Structure 1
Amino acid sequence: MRDHLRAGIAVYNEGRYHAAHDAWEAYWLDLDEGDDERFLHGLIQFTAVVHHASEENWSGAQGLAESAVEYLDGLPDPYRGVALYRVRSFLAATAADPHHAAADPPVVTHDGEAIGYDTLDFDATAIAAEVLAEAGRYDEEVIDDAVDRARDELDGDGGSQFVGMVFSFVRERDQRPVVYQRLRDHVELEQQKDDDVRGLFE
């Protein structure tokens, strides 16, 4: 859960409010009822509140704020390392007056740290990469392949080419299209090598 949690927080703090929930949703959907389910459900709705406010959908922001308050109610603060008091205060104020959400949304912290892309380890970065690929309409299969090859490098094949490019895809926002093109080219090259090797044994 930690990697999904940190990835989503980073995506949110970097301003991708709508995309942030994707880092949590796949994990949340597999949870049974309980505190973790309520926690992630509340965070997902919180990011939706911020997104609706950015689109000036005030009724949507207000309704989800009311619901998110209920999901987060009663959870200890912090929960799973996430400081909830700023989130709860923002949601309560938005539930009372949806235009409150037009102000700068609160930064979400984890273990006392305001997380951004540059603070994520590889596992959380890989989740963020997949989220950003979907949000940015990049080919998700290319990113998935690159992440798999990066994991192989980390497992000890001696390389670090794909590890570096996955980090760059997430961290270098302005260069992301260029980094993606490099990633795609390298993935296609490695896939061709794999096909050539398989062909030797057919």
Structure 2
Amino acid sequence: MRDHLRAGIAVYNEGRYHAAHDAWEEYWLDLGSGDDERFLHGLIQFTAVVHHASEENWSGARGLAESAAEYLNGLPDPYRGVALADVRTFLDEAAAGPHHAATDPPTLTHDGEAIGYDALDFGATAIAAEVLAEAGRYDEAVIDAAVDRARSELDSDGGSQFTGMLFSFVRERDQRPVVYQRLRDHVELEQQKDDDVRGLFDGSG
């Protein structure tokens, strides 16, 4: 859960309120009932409150604020390293008057730190890259392939080309389109190499 949690927090803290839930949703959907399910359900709804408020959808923000607060009530604070006091206060205030949610959403912290993209290790960065690809309408297949290549690099200590580019894709917002193009070119080049090698042995006896 840690990588998913930190990736979503970083995406949220960078102002991508709608996209943040994608880092948590896949993990959350596989959970059975229990505190972890309630926690992620509440966080997902919390980010939806902030998103709706930023779009001035006051009725949507108010209803979700009440629901999110119910999911988070009763959980220890912090839970899984995430401080919940400010989130709960915000949700209570948003339920009473959601205009507040548009102007002063709380920063999320993990282990006492307000984390951004620079604080993410590779596992969380890979998740954030996939989230940002979907949100930014980049080809998700390219990012998925780059993540696979980067994992192979890390497993084999065989260089850091894809690993470095993935960190740049996430961390360098203004350069993201340029970095994506480099990633796509390198993915296509490596795929062509793989195809060429397979072609050498096709039909061999």
TM-score (norm 1): 0.99
- Equivalent in the alignment of 1:118: 118
Matched residue SS, 1:113? coil
Matched residue SS, 2:107? coil
- Equivalent in the alignment of 2:163: 163
Matched residue SS, 1:109? coil
Quote the Cα distance in structure 2 between the aligned partners of 1:106 and 1:175: 27
TM-score (norm 2): 0.98
Quote the Cα distance in structure 2 between the aligned partners of 1:165 and 1:120: 14
Alignment of 1:25-174 (within 5 A): 25-174=25-174
Residue by residue, what CA displacement relative to the aligned partner does 1:144-173 show, whole Å, maximum 9, x if unpaired? Answer: 000000001101242100000000000000
Matched residue SS, 2:138? coil
- Equivalent in the alignment of 1:192: 192
Residue by residue, what CA displacement relative to the aligned partner does 1:43-74 show, whole Å, maximum 9, x if unpaired? Answer: 00000000001100000000000000000000
Residue type matched to 1:32 in 2? G
Quote the Cα distance in structure 2 between the aligned partners of 1:86 and 1:14: 18
How far did residue 104 of structure 1 move?
Answer: 2.3
Residue type matched to 2:54 in 1? S
Quote the Cα distance in structure 2 between the aligned partners of 1:12 and 1:59: 22
Quote the Cα distance in structure 2 between the aligned partners of 1:68 and 1:144: 31
Quote the Cα distance in structure 2 between the aligned partners of 1:122 and 1:104: 31
Over 3 Å off, 4+ runs: none
Identity of aligned residues (%): 88
**Runs of 5+ in structure 2 lacking a partner?**
none
Residue type matched to 1:64 in 2? L
How far did residue 102 of structure 1 move?
Answer: 1.6
Quote the Cα distance in structure 1 between the aligned partners of 2:157 and 2:110: 33
Residue type matched to 1:99 in 2? H
Matched residue SS, 1:190? helix
Quote the Cα distance in structure 2 between the aligned partners of 1:69 and 1:88: 6
Quote the Cα distance in structure 1 between the aligned partners of 2:174 and 2:63: 34
